[in-house]
Structure 1
Amino acid sequence: MASPAPAPRPTITATASTWQSLAADKRARQAASIPREWILPIHRLPGPKVNEVIGFPEDEKCGLLTTGDLEVTNASIEELLANLTSGTWTAVGVVKAFAKRAIIAHQLTNCLTEIFIEQAITRAAELDAYYDKYGKPVGPLHGLPFSLKDQITVKGLETTMGYVSWIGEYATENALVVDIMIEAGAVPYVRTNVPQTLMWPESFNNIFGRTSNPYNRTLTSGGSSGGEGALIALKGSPLGIGSDIGGSVRIPANFCGIYSLRPSAHRVPYLGAKNSLIGQDSVPSVLGPMSSSISGLKIFFQTILASEPWFRDASCIRKPWSEEEYKLTEHHNKGRVLSFGIMWDDGIVKPHPPVLRALEKVKRALVKKRHKVVEFKAVKHAEICMVAAKIWDAGALQDYTTTTSITGEPIITTMSPTPFAPSTSGAPFRPGSTPSSTVSAYDYWQLNTAKQALRQEYLSAWQATSTTSGTGRPFDAILCPAASWAAPPHGKNTSVQYTMVWNVLDYPVVVLPVTRVDQRLDVRRERSEFLGAMDREVYESYDPKMHEGSPVGIQVVGRNLEDEAVLALAEIVDEALKADA
């Protein structure tokens, strides 16, 4: 792909407004990168009091998408690839359709950061010329547009990752995952919004501002891959790449009604991507796909593994795609009769009614297909979360201050809609909030020892389910909430415990959508006993009217390195849900 020419780096001057000026300049350059003819006038956009905008791109009032654009952007990823690789659709036509819809999504939710559509169309034209000359596609993803979280570098572009201090730093090469996708024929065209530091389950920073949820713009799209969640929900991208250290592809997928995969560590190459907490390998961040279908997750994962990334990224393990694992040949009756453990809560907080209804809906659908669904009790999730938090805390504050000190940009301490408002909670879910978080090397070793002991205990507990599963072998997967709630208001997503435990255990996880909040069905379930203060607080926070229409998903959790199996198991769950609709 042709690299865009870098814009001149803004001059940093020693004034009180330095970081604000840099951020303002960056926003102006972003605005200038949007094709003028795709910017809707204010009177055609939904007003600030219109919360749900998920259907706006196809509304007559929008009027920007042609019939052909709608056909392309509503196509499944299989249909897209079939029409692209057969030459039925041109790469230029497909890239333009998704780029146009991405710009609409941005005007609705503020989901984009880098916009490089002109370069994408140039690349798409090269793909079309190749097809016309040779009568075949460049690769299996020929002409497929894909979006990227703003930490995954693209040559010639800035990667700020929400830090003002990184404005003006242009990548000299692509992240390896981008190279692999381009080699397969895919076309990057936009990058998406994140929180400053990445270590938040919401998406707000001092450069680009806040991303909102297209189902209700007063609610969060999640984080840290929140821009991807909003973009894909609005069909502005068929496939995106995010990252996940504590739930960062799963939380936005859950809140925005899409699919995501948190793969096992070291299967998808991270080489060349930017990150926070670099050098912290005890609970590593992983890159993972987000899409409008499980097929999109599978296609991404197969494409990456087919490139043999272990020969290019020293951190990748040598484990090619296994069709046998995907076919569940080692599972009971080759997957025809499966046993799922269902975890109604994590022993810390009981979920809100719509989340429990989603789990009940999944259970009913699977039982109808003659699969077994057996209750599973969480194993020391509070301890697992505590160990993870202390590991991240160990050097987080120094990491953030080292970066922000370049420009004097303040470290964000709250995701409240009022920027820089004092945090009453002490931001417990954003690591490293106090200097006392730092620990000695010896204490850090003890945390790793505790983590390994918890992993061993969980393995033993999973193995022991062979006596209760009903199949004579351990559970094939665990079904559990992806959060205690549907998408909460901005600044209120104050817990990630339902997702972060699986990062510590390094289990692959698929999030899939199940239902949407219905205040007639999801009435408050009266309770008089609570698991603790947090449980009571979450219970009292429930307002079905506030969440009305919001997506609710679940997690399908597999065992370490059984990524192919968890994709297959998630497909079985997804198909059962659709059959029971």
Structure 2
Amino acid sequence: MAPASVTTASGATWQEVAADRQRHRDATLDQLCPPLPKLLTDDIPLNTTSIPGSLLTEEELGITGTAVEDLAAKIASGEWSSTTVVNAFLRRAAMAQKLVNCVTEILPERALKRAAELNAYLATHKKPMGPLHGVPISVKEHVGMKGLDLNAGFVGWVGNVADEDALILRCLWEAGAVFYVRTTQPQTLMHLETSNNLYGTTINPYNSTLTSGGSSGGEGALLGLRGSVLGIGTDIGGSIRSPAANNGVFGFKPTSLRLPVEGLAVTMAGAEHIRPTPGPLSTSVEGLRLFTKAILDRKPWLRDPTLVPLGWRDVDGEPESRGRKLRVAVVWDDGVVRPHPPVVRALADVVEKLRASEAVEVVEWKPWRHDLAWEIIAKLYFCDGGAEEAAAIDASGEPWRPLSKWIIRDNPHVRAHTIPSLWKAIQERDAYKAKYAELWNANATTADDNNTSEVDVILCPAGPGVAPKLETARYWGYTSQWNLLDYPAVVFPVGGDAISVEKDGDGQQAEGAQSHAYPEDYTPLSEADAYNWALWKEHGAAGYRDAPVSLQLVGRRYEDEKLLRALENLLDAAGLPRSC
């Protein structure tokens, strides 16, 4: 596959570059054999999730509807060949592209060659290559793939080519994975939705008036339509968790420096004040675990010494093995923005079920200065005042997208730091981390046996509402809070949507919960809350019809394995499924 030749460096306009990239993407879709059925654009409903079921074969639907762990088992046993599986996902990914605009290119030649090699390996060795043998994994575009364009959503970067696969891809490859599709991301990689001038806007498969989230919104939308069951995202402020929540799938942001970022195309590379991290989006909790463990088992810190040399730790049986319940602290709102009624209602329903469980103890969590947390992290995102982001945008003459302008140019906290001012901002960050650690420690109780029982995890909203209307995702606090603290966090669907969650009325109240609806005399908590409240007043539940409802679970730093285990316990206690 030849590198892009139509670039701004070759004298093309930004519009010509974008048109060429879209032609390239469409050409990769045309390589499918047999071709996809034609879609009649006039007949596409707001909710597109049922369309693949009417156009794909029963075999394709069965394969793409299978959870990662079961898919891996069927391929490893020989029940399904890797080639058959890859073909099914290529076709469903291509269909997802036509429905929600989530793909930058599919990779049929590469993927099918890899699948054939894996089939041969299994036949010869009578065992799989690794735990992900034959499992198709979708890849966010700015994760470098050898020989392929690496533009990170900037028109001016088209023509840059990765010299080798990113380290995270090499680890997954060694575990037997197949890479078959690349997905969209926003201009700047700093939106909680996905829009850029190369490919346009990625929309939500459940309601096309809503965003798929960002910056891994292509991944989120693709998984929402089951064009993938396991994908790679990246997260510095919510970029895995926002798309997972918006599309009703699972998404995991690990603690930083556990999974490798080497080989990712980003601005401000080398910045350490707020560290990004890659992580998985999946249709099952087990998929998150398989992905993370497969990478850690390959000891990536031996190839990237900036990583913490911490392998996967088995925590099966926690905290039961210590003779106590899972202790879950609940955040109803962060004191800055009150979530929309469907989220409050869903959280109340889950908490009510947890309180009735014999396996979980629920306590209240009083957030401390989450408004200050945003000020600190927003001050540290663009320490050159956004100069490198601006240069990447302006190099091609492409226009600034609205949310790029909002997070950089309109952000009152952005500044070009001096060395002393950066030192001071980092001191503020570390002081905030210390204060939050103190808060967590204060939420410990002493049991009769004199063993300390502390909060294991925090249960909270994943955002200020369900998937936002396009170009309205302006509140990051429910996700960026945990990036500042560098706590691992996982998003999970709870079922229902903005309509069904409201169907029993807004006024019912679970113990400890606020009323689900805004009171008639509601006074916003902040300027950001007034903005969020106005969105609900304007659109109401009907405006967010069919949007999935999700929540978030947060753990202490480097307790990633414990967090995923806690999620399984929580889901079981609440009667929620481990896959979607």
What is the TM-score when the length of structure 2 is the normalising length? 0.91
Tell me if the contact between 2:257 and 2:306 (Cα under 8 Å) persists in the aligned partners.
Answer: yes
Matched residue SS, 1:38: coil
CA distance in 2, matches of 1:221, 1:468: 44
1:418 alignment counterpart: none
1:447 matched to 2:425? The reply is yes
Query: Aligned partner of 1:149: which letter?
Result: K
Counterpart in the other structure of 2:269: 278
Residue aligning to 2:52: 57
Alpha-carbon shift at residue 522 of structure 1 (Å): 5.8
- Report the counterpart of residue 503 of structure 2 in structure 1: 520
Q: Equivalents in 2 of 1:335, 1:226: separation in Å?
A: 41
Secondary structure of the structure 1 residue equivalent to 2:383: helix
Distance in 1, Cα, partners of 2:323 & 2:544? 36
Q: Aligned AA for 1:467?
A: T
- Is 2:561 the partner of 1:568? no
Displacement, 1:431? 7.0
CA distance in 2, matches of 1:431, 1:74: 43
Which 4+ runs in 1 deviate beyond 6 A?
Answer: 468-471
Matched, 1:402 2:391: yes
Equivalent of 1:378 in 355, 367, 373: 367
Tell me the residue number matched to 2:510: none
Counterpart in the other structure of 1:506: 486
Residue 485 (structure 1) aligned to one of 453, 456, 465: 465
Q: Is the contact between residue 379 and residue 413 of structure 2 (CA under 8 Å) also seen in structure 1?
A: no
Going from structure 1 to structure 2, the CA distance change for 1:131 and 1:38 (only over 3 Å counts) comes to: same
- Three-state SS of the structure 1 residue aligned to 2:384 is helix
CA apart distance, 1:535: 2.1
- State how far apart, in whole Å, the 1-side matches of 2:410 and 2:307 are: 28
Q: 1:29-178 maps to which residues of 2 (within 5 A)?
A: 29-34=24-29, 35=31, 37-43=34-40, 47=43, 50-59=45-54, 63=55, 65-178=56-169
The Cα of 1:119 is off from its aligned counterpart by 1.2
* Structure 1 residue 367, shift from structure 2 partner: 1.8
Are the equivalent residues in 2 in contact too, given 1:477–1:558 (CA < 8 A)? yes
Cα displacement string for residues 117-151 of structure 1 (whole angstroms, at most 9, x for unaligned residues): 22101110111122222222222211000001111
Residues 326, 564 of structure 1: 8 Å contact kept: no
Cα distance between partner residues in 2 of 1:349 and 1:334: 37
Mapped partners of 2:269, 2:400: distance in 1:
18
Q: Give the SS at the match of 2:366.
A: coil
The residue number in structure 1 matching 2:530 is 536
Find the aligned partners of 1:184 and 1:365 in 2 and give their Cα distance: 38
Which residue matches 1:367? 355
Q: CA deviation at 1:402?
A: 2.5
Displacement of 1:525 after TM fit? 3.1
User: In the aligned structure 2, how far is the partner of 1:305 from the partner of 1:350?
Assistant: 37
The offset of 1:468, in angstroms, is: 9.0
For residues 257-406 of structure 1, the aligned pairs below 5 Å read: 257-323=248-314, 325-328=315-318, 331=319, 334=322, 337-370=325-358, 371-406=360-395
Distance in structure 2 (CA, Å) of the matches to 1:459 and 1:268: 23
Comparing 301-310 and 18-27, the one that deviates more: 18-27
- Deviation sequence 1:307-344 (CA, Å, 0-9, x none): 00110112210011111x3542xx46537511111000
Aligned positions, number: 556
SS in 2 for 1:395: coil
Please state how far the C-alpha of 1:474 moved relative to its aligned partner: 1.5
1:430, distance to aligned residue in structure 2 (A): 4.7
CA contact (8 A) 2:187 2:401 kept: yes
Match of 1:438 in 2: 416
Tell me if 1:201 matches 2:196: no
Using the size of structure 1 for normalisation, the TM-score is: 0.91
- Please state if 1:463 is matched with 2:460: no
Instruction: Give the aligned CA root-mean-square deviation in angstroms.
Output: 2.2
Amino acid at match of 1:541: L
Q: Secondary structure at the match of 2:234?
A: strand
- Deviation, structure 1 residue 401: 2.4
Is contact 2:104-2:183 (8 Å) kept? yes
State the 1:157 CA deviation: 0.8
- The unaligned stretches of length 5 or more in structure 2 are 507-516
Q: For each residue in 1:169-208, what CA deviation from the matched residue of structure 2 results, as whole angstroms up to 9, or x when unmatched?
A: 2211000111111111110000111101101111000001
Report what 2:551 is aligned to. 554
Change in 2 beyond 3 A, CA 1:436/1:290: closer
Aligned amino acid, residue 214 of structure 2: G
Q: Please report how far the alpha carbon of residue 380 of structure 1 lies from its aligned counterpart in structure 2 after TM superposition.
A: 1.2
Change (3 A) 1:469 1:475: farther
Change (3 A) 1:434 1:30: farther
| CA distance in 2 between partners of 1:373 and 1:136 (Å) | 45
Paired amino acid for 1:23: A
Cα offsets for 1:408-455 (capped at 9, x unmatched): 22332347xxxxxxxxxx61x457868972121111111100010000
- Do residues 476 (structure 1) and 473 (structure 2) align? no
**Which amino acid letter does the alignment assign opposite residue 27 of structure 1?**
Q
CA deviation map 1:514-563 (0-9, x unaligned): 13222424644315233233323322321111112211111100000000
Once residues 191 and 218 of structure 2 are traced to their aligned partners in structure 1, the CA distance between those partners, rounded to angstroms, is 13
Following superposition, the deviation at residue 374 of structure 1 comes to 1.1
